[in-house]
Amino acid sequence: MIVIKSQDEITTMRKAGRHVAEILQILREKIRPGVTTLFLNGIAESECKKRNARPAFKGYGGFPFTICASPNNKVVHGFADSVPLRQGDIVSIDFGLIIDGFYGDSAITVPVGNVDEEIEKLLRVTQASLMAGIAAANSGQHLSDISHAVQTKVEQNDFSVVRDFVGHGIGRRLHEEPQVPNYGEAGHGIVLKEGMTIAIEPMVNVGQPGVKVLDDGWTAVTIDSSWSAHFEHTIAITENGPEILTCLGNI
Ligand code: MG
Ligand code: MG
C-alpha cells in the first residue's frame, strides 16, 4: 500500500529532510585525506543527539552504524571503519534519521581531494541522473518515468546503473511502497499522485552494473571492481511538481 501524506505530514518530513541535509553538509566539509569514516560516523551520531533525532540506519536489520560509508568500488551499505581516506578516493555517505515520527534519507558521494577526470564525471553524471529522475516525478506521470529518466542520463554518458538496489517510498517507515528502480522503460507502474513521498537513489558504476555483497552481509561492491557513486534525495510529489525534502534551507 502506498501511503499518501497530508500537508502537515509533509511539513514534518521537510523538517526531517533539512536535518539530514545539514548533517550531510557537515560531513562533506570534514572529508579530506586522512579522515576515517568511523570519525564521520561519530559526527553524524552526535549531530543526531543534538537535534533529538534518531539515526535511521543504526540497528535497522542489524546494521551497526549511523552512516553507510562506501568508498571507491563499494556501492552501498558499507561499514564505517578506521581506514584513512586517501587523496583521489571518493566516498559515498548514505544517511537517514527519524524526527517527530518521520524519516528523511539522502546520500552524497564526495571526492577526497582531487580525483581523476573520469571519476569527476561519474559524480557529475550520477547527480544529474538523480535530478533527471526527480524532474520526472510529477503527479500524473508513471513511476517508471523516473526510472527511465535516470537510466537514460547514465547510459548517455557511458556509465551503468545498478539493478540490485532501488529507491523506495518513505514516511513513517524508512522503506515503504513503491520500490523505485533506476532503470526501465517509461510509462509503466503506478501513476504518481500528490502526497506521495519517495527516495530516489541512483547507484552508478564506471564499469558493469553487477554488484555482490561481501561476507559481512551488508557491503555491496562492484563485481568488476570499478568505482561507483550514489546520490539520493527524499522528495514529495506536490501540486507544484516534485519538491526535494532533503535540502538545505527549507523550513
Ligand atoms: Mg539512503
Ligand atoms: Mg534510501
Angle at 179 (CA atoms; ends 212, 250), nearest 5 degrees: 105
Task: Please check whether residue 249 lies inside any domain of the structure.
Answer: no
Q: Ligand 1 center to residue 105 CA distance, Å?
A: 5
- pLDDT tens for residues 95-111? 999 999 999 999 999 99
Q: Is residue 251 part of a domain?
A: no
CATH number, position 92: 3.90.230.10
Residue 135 has, within 13 A of its CA and on its CB side, a CA count of: 10
The 8-class DSSP code of residue 77 comes to: -
Is residue 179's pLDDT more than 60? yes
Q: What is the model's pLDDT at position 249?
A: 74
CA 30/CA 38 separation, integer angstroms: 12
The answer to pTM > 0.85 is yes
Q: What is the mean pLDDT of the chain?
A: 97
Q: What is the average pLDDT across 166-170?
A: 98
pLDDT, tens digit, for every residue of 9-60? Answer: 999 999 999 999 999 999 999 999 999 999 999 999 999 999 999 999 999 9
Domain total of the chain: 1
pLDDT more than 70, % of the chain: 99
Q: pLDDT over 90 for what percent of the chain?
A: 99
pLDDT of residue 250: 59
pLDDT of 251 above 70: no
In degrees and rounded to multiples of 5, residue 38 shows phi and psi of: -65, -40
Q: Is residue 1 part of a domain?
A: no
Question: Is residue 233, in this structure, part of any structural domain at all?
Answer: yes
Backbone angles phi, psi at 238, to 5 degrees: -120, 175
Nearest to 130 by CA among 115, 102, 108, 114: 108
Q: What is the mean pLDDT of residues 151-176?
A: 98
Whether residue 120 lies inside any domain: the answer is: yes
**Residue-level pLDDT at 190:** 98
| 219 Cβ neighbours under 8 A, 6+ residues apart | 70, 74, 77, 78, 79, 213
Pairing of strands 241-244, 160-161: unpaired
Domain-embedded: residue 190: yes
Residues with CB under 5 A from ligand 2 (ion): 105, 199
Interval between CA 170 and ligand 2 midpoint (Å): 8
Note down the domain range covering 63.
Answer: 7-244
Give the residues across from 68 on adjacent strands. 94
- Using the mean position of ligand 2's atoms as its centre, give its distance from the Cα of residue 168 in Å: 6
Three cell numbers written together for 135: 524532474
- Tens digits of residue pLDDT in 54-85: 999 999 999 999 999 999 999 999 999 999 99
Q: Bridge partners of 213? A: 220
